[in-house]
């Protein structure tokens, strides 16, 4: 089983699971990386693949700071984002989006154990609905929580505090599933049990310090939860 625990002292019984959407539920992070780079190219900048990964899940302030780090003062995150959205919408309107392997099985498992589930994403609710409904995933979650509904987006803890509250749970009762450092930091700050399911890159040293565990995929997480249920931990 490809599941590794880093902080066993943080393991607690799981009553809720908070899902980042892009990269955990949906195989869309590769599209964001592509279209951030295309947005840069349209404006005469060259953005590396690694730089595009660095843009994941950032709120407005953090995203603006990151772009200025890459390209200097005067660059506009708003303009970048408008181009990225336009290009990505044109693509997904034709080709749609794909679910991540094992996500349906994981949701079925959680339903069978009576564990509550919420989406906790930086994306607006309209995009969540657009992407999840055609796949039959929108109604599989008890709550849909967007970074646009809270004062501060990731990496601040607001979205995970909100997600736990929407489920009627404390953050420390919730497993938070993320694929990026920004999301893991948000979940950790909220007090959730942070688990990384890597998508486009593996956790670095700073990320591993925040993790309860890492799973290679949703199916690996099912196995770990099943073992944890027997041991009263994860």
CATH number of the domain that 216 lies in?
A: 3.40.50.1000
> For the ranges 128-132, 189-193, 219-223, which has the lowest average pLDDT?
219-223
From residue 120, give the alpha-carbon distance in Å to each of 10, 82, 157, 161, 233.
21, 22, 11, 10, 23
Domain boundary among 95, 117, 143: 95
- What mean pLDDT comes out for the span 139-168? 97
Question: Are 118 and 78 contained in the same domain?
Answer: no
Which pLDDT belongs to residue 92? 95
**Could you give the number of structural domains in the chain?**
2
Question: Are 125 and 90 contained in the same domain?
Answer: no
Question: Are 49 and 162 contained in the same domain?
Answer: no
Q: Which long-range contacts (CB under 8 A, 24 or more apart) does 44-50 make?
A: 45/70, 45/71, 45/75
The encoded tokens of residue 1 equal 């089983």
Q: Grade residue 211 by pLDDT with cuts at 50, 70 and 90.
A: very high
Domain boundary among 53, 68, 95: 95
- What mean pLDDT comes out for the span 174-198? 96
Question: Are 14 and 126 contained in the same domain?
Answer: yes
Phi, psi dihedral angles at 222 (to 5 degrees): -60, -45
Which pLDDT belongs to residue 2? 87
Question: Are 59 and 87 contained in the same domain?
Answer: yes
- According to DSSP, the β-strands at 193-196 and 174-178 are parallel
Query: Does the pLDDT of residue 233 top 60, yes or no?
Result: no
Q: Grade residue 223 by pLDDT with cuts at 50, 70 and 90.
A: confident
Please tell me the distance from the alpha carbon of residue 106 to that of residue 35, in angstroms, as a whole number: 29
Question: Are 115 and 221 contained in the same domain?
Answer: yes
Domain boundary among 40, 67, 95: 95
Q: Grade residue 228 by pLDDT with cuts at 50, 70 and 90.
A: low
- pTM to 2 decimal places: 0.90
Query: Does the pLDDT of residue 44 top 90, yes or no?
Result: yes
More confident residue, 227 or 74: 74
Q: Grade residue 232 by pLDDT with cuts at 50, 70 and 90.
A: very low
- Residues with Cβ within 8 Å of 105's Cβ and at least 6 positions away in sequence, in order, are 218, 219, 222
Query: What pairs with residue 85 in β-bridges?
Result: none
Tell me the residue range of the domain where 77 lies: 29-95
Which pLDDT belongs to residue 7? 86
**Nearest by Cα to 212 from 187, 180, 230, 231:** 187
Query: What pairs with residue 143 in β-bridges?
Result: 118
Q: Grade residue 119 by pLDDT with cuts at 50, 70 and 90.
A: very high
Q: Grade residue 184 by pLDDT with cuts at 50, 70 and 90.
A: very high
- What mean pLDDT comes out for the span 88-99? 96
- Residues with Cβ within 8 Å of 23's Cβ and at least 6 positions away in sequence, in order, are 29, 56, 100, 178, 179, 180, 197, 199, 200
Which pLDDT belongs to residue 1? 52
User: From the DSSP assignment, how many helices (H) and strands (E) are in the chain?
Assistant: 10, 7
Question: Are 23 and 51 contained in the same domain?
Answer: no
Question: Are 76 and 127 contained in the same domain?
Answer: no
Tell me what the pLDDT averaged over the chain comes to.
93
């Amino acid at each position: 089983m490809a599941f590794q625990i880093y902080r066993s002292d943080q393991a607690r019984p799981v009553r809720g699971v908070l899902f980042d959407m892009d990269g955990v539920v949906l195989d869309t992070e590769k599209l964001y990386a592509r279209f951030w780079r295309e947005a840069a190219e349209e404006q005469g900048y060259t953005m590396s693949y690694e730089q595009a990964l660095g843009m994941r899940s950032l709120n407005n302030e953090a995203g603006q700071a990151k772009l200025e780090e890459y390209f200097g003062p005067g660059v506009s995150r708003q303009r970048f984002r408008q181009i990225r959205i336009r290009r990505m919408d044109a693509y997904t309107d034709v080709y749609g989006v794909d679910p991540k392997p094992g996500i349906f099985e994981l949701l079925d498992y959680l339903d069978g154990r009576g564990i509550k589930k919420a989406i906790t994403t930086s994306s607006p609710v309209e995009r969540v609905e657009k992407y999840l409904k055609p796949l039959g995933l929108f109604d599989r979650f008890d709550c849909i929580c967007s970074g646009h509904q809270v004062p501060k987006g990731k990496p601040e803890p607001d979205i995970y505090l909100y997600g736990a509250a929407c489920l009627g749970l404390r953050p420390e009762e919730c497993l938070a599933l993320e694929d990026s450092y920004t999301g893991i930091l948000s979940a950790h700050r909220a007090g959730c049990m942070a688990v990384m399911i890597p998508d486009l890159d593996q956790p670095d040293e700073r990320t591993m310090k925040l993790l309860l565990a890492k799973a290679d995929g949703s199916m690996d997480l099912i196995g770990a939860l099943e073992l944890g249920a027997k041991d009263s931990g994860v």
